[in-house]
Amino acid sequence: MKRKGLSALLMIALISMCTLYAGGLYRQKASSRILVAYFSATGTTETLAEYAADILDADLYEIEPEVPYTEADLAYYTDCRADREQRDAAARPRIRGRVEDMSKYDTVVIAHPIWHGQAPRIISTFLESYDFSGKTLVSFCTSHSSPLGSSAASLRRHLPSDVSWLESRRFARGASRAEMESWLDSIGLEAEEKVGQFDFDSRTVLLNSGYRMPIMGLGTYALDHDSCVNSVVSLLENGGRLIDTAYMYGNERAVGEGVRMAMERFGIPREDIFVITKIYPSQFDRPEAAIEMALEKLDIGYIDMLLLHHPGRGDVKAYRAMERYVDEGRIHSLGLSNFYVRELEEFLPQVRIAPALVQNEIHPYYQERDVVPFIQEKGIVVQCWYPLGGRGYTGKLLGDETIRRIARSHGVSSAQTILRWDLQRGIVVIPGSSNPEHIKENLDLFDFELTEAEMEMIEKLDRGEKHDWY
Ligand SMILES: NC(=O)c1ccc[n+]([C@@H]2O[C@H](COP(=O)([O-])OP(=O)(O)OC[C@H]3O[C@@H](n4cnc5c(N)ncnc54)[C@H](OP(=O)(O)O)[C@@H]3O)[C@@H](O)[C@H]2O)c1
Ligand SMILES: Cc1cc2nc3c(=O)[nH]c(=O)nc-3n(C[C@H](O)[C@H](O)[C@H](O)COP(=O)(O)O)c2cc1C
């Protein structure tokens, strides 16, 4: 899975959702790398800037003059303050406050009214206050009747030559959101993809580590060597790309063998495959040895994701060792398993690299409806183990009358219904199977969709029934 170049700092940005910044109103969103900065004296531009920020999921910043414009200041053609400023090419009205961290934006949209055919001088103050080198910029304006004219070209002259300037646009008062959307689309601006958001087209999710992970795959618990190799090969042959194993399952060698075999047989590039393994609490006192062993057993170059299998004595120390392997590139992403609210609250402040994933027991009879949003709101992806209830319980779950009824109405199996329910909750699934037919079926989750009512019917099956102790 390819890196998208997100920094670890992104995680911090992600957690801070709405920030009121000294000076202009500054609404900062999770992980946005687009800024819409606007000046608006009478509110026309503001409405459109809000549309743009909303469409682009961008941060919104109001360029506020230190000395606000009064009605008299704006009474144009009366030699008012605004008239005088526009006549004076050197006028630079001062701005209250600053954009907190301009370096985090790669694209800046500037919005302003037209004053005597040009952008108000305060826009020049704004452009001269930051280093826009290497960024993409574009402006839009609102006016009573004047066209864009030379206003955008004049702004462009304030900027370094390596700024990529897109085609500007003038909007009339009352322009619609749809008009804004279509202009942004025409210049190729679109919302940033969000960490943790499932992309049902590529069937992947972007992790806070910058890597993409498939949203459905294979669990290998209880699979012996040969059936594990077969299952892994079968998964990869049928388009699956995510495999979950653990030191404790005793089958990391088999997973590695299956991966290498399928890469060779089907020409699948290594970076398209995502392997998760875990170190067990009994290994926490010597984490480096545990990681080296996992790398050696898997023998697939690097580990896509390493989890702590459970909380336990020495877990922070073990995780810090895992962080060092991330620094070296031998592990790509980190995660936790069997961590709930209290465990996470205690653990997270002690580590440097935020976990990208938490893997917990979740199925219709044990839904973790409090824990799941707690984790997801932190930009951490949730993955479920025992999605079908786990061995010994699958009969009960797959035979559940509510699930069977929903499954029948979509012409799919109970297993597919449960797995689809997880995906629609934003939970990654790794059903275990030694049966190629089941493996194929468990990947086939994208030609139907559960309705809200069906999601709620399954939600009602929750009975806090845990099928394992951790
Ligand atoms: N982090 C942890 O502490 C932890 C704990 C437990 C599990 N896990 C992980 O989570 C994965 C999933 O859990 P699990 O494998 O134990 O339990 P599971 O996925 O809930 O259930 C596996 C059982 O379901 C059956 N099955 C799979 N697909 C089916 C289908 N389409 N129709 C009917 N039956 C089907 C399998 O039988 P067949 O073999 O016949 O298909 C197998 O007996 C594990 O493999 C492991 O990777 C993690
Ligand atoms: C000082 C001043 C000069 C203006 N000059 C023009 C102009 O040259 N052409 C025009 O069509 N509108 C002009 N207008 C009108 C504004 O561009 C228009 O009302 C704009 O949409 C206001 O945006 P706002 O509500 O975001 O401040 C001017 C307004 C002011 C206050």
pLDDT tens digits for range 198-224: 999 999 999 999 999 999 999 999 999
Question: How many angstroms separate the alpha carbon of residue 446 from the centre of ligand 1?
Answer: 20
Please give the number of the atom of ligand 1 that sits closest to the Cα of 434: 39
Lowest average pLDDT, out of 30-34, 265-269, 311-315, goes to 30-34
State the average pLDDT over residues 146-170. 96
Does pLDDT of 18 surpass 50?
no
State the average pLDDT over residues 165-190. 96
Does pLDDT of 5 surpass 50?
no
What pLDDT, on the 0 to 100 scale, is given for residue 194? 83
Contact 100, 73 (CB under 8 A): no
Three-state secondary-structure class, residue 78: coil
Does pLDDT of 317 surpass 70?
yes
Could you tell me the pTM of the whole model?
A: 0.73
Please give the number of the atom of ligand 2 that sits closest to the Cα of 76: 1
* Closest residue CA from atom 19 of ligand 1: 431
Contact 319, 278 (CB under 8 A): no
Q: Is 69 a catalytic residue?
A: no
- Ligand 1 pocket: which of 248, 307, 438 to mutate (most atoms <8 Å of CB)? 438
Contact 206, 195 (CB under 8 A): yes
What pLDDT, on the 0 to 100 scale, is given for residue 191? 84
Contact 38, 49 (CB under 8 A): yes
Ligand closest to the CA atom of residue 111: 2
Locate all alpha helices (DSSP H) within 284-400, ordered by sequence: 287-298, 315-328, 341-347, 371-376, 394-398
Going by the DSSP 8-state scheme, the letter that residue 191 receives in this structure is P
Exposure string of 408-434, with b = 16+ CB inside 10 Å and e = fewer, is eebebbbbbbbbbbbbbbbbbbbbbbb
Which protein residues are within 6 Å of ligand 1, measured from CB? 219-221, 244, 309, 337-338, 359, 385-391, 394, 398, 413, 415, 430-435, 438, 441-442, 470
Tell me if 150 CB under 6 Å of ligand 2. Answer: no
CB within 8 A of 257, min separation 6: which ones?
229, 232
First-residue to last-residue Cα distance in the chain: 30
What pLDDT, on the 0 to 100 scale, is given for residue 29? 46
Contact 113, 143 (CB under 8 A): yes
State residue 405 phi and psi, 5-degree precision. -65, -45
Question: How many angstroms separate the alpha carbon of residue 27 from the centre of ligand 2?
Answer: 25
Exposure string of 121-132, with b = 16+ CB inside 10 Å and e = fewer, is bbbbbbbeebeb
* Domains in the chain, CATH or no CATH each: 9-186 (3.40.50.360), 198-459 (3.20.20.100)
Ligand closest to the CA atom of residue 115: 2
What pLDDT, on the 0 to 100 scale, is given for residue 32? 65
pLDDT digits (tens, 9 = 90+) for 81-135: 999 999 999 999 999 999 999 999 999 999 999 999 999 999 999 999 999 999 9
Confidence of residue 11 (pLDDT cuts 50, 70, 90): very low
* Closest residue CA from atom 45 of ligand 1: 219
State the average pLDDT over residues 368-388. 97
| Active-site annotation holder among 26, 249, 325, 386 | 249
Ligand closest to the CA atom of residue 86: 2
Question: How many angstroms separate the alpha carbon of residue 220 from the centre of ligand 1?
Answer: 7
State the average pLDDT over residues 364-388. 97
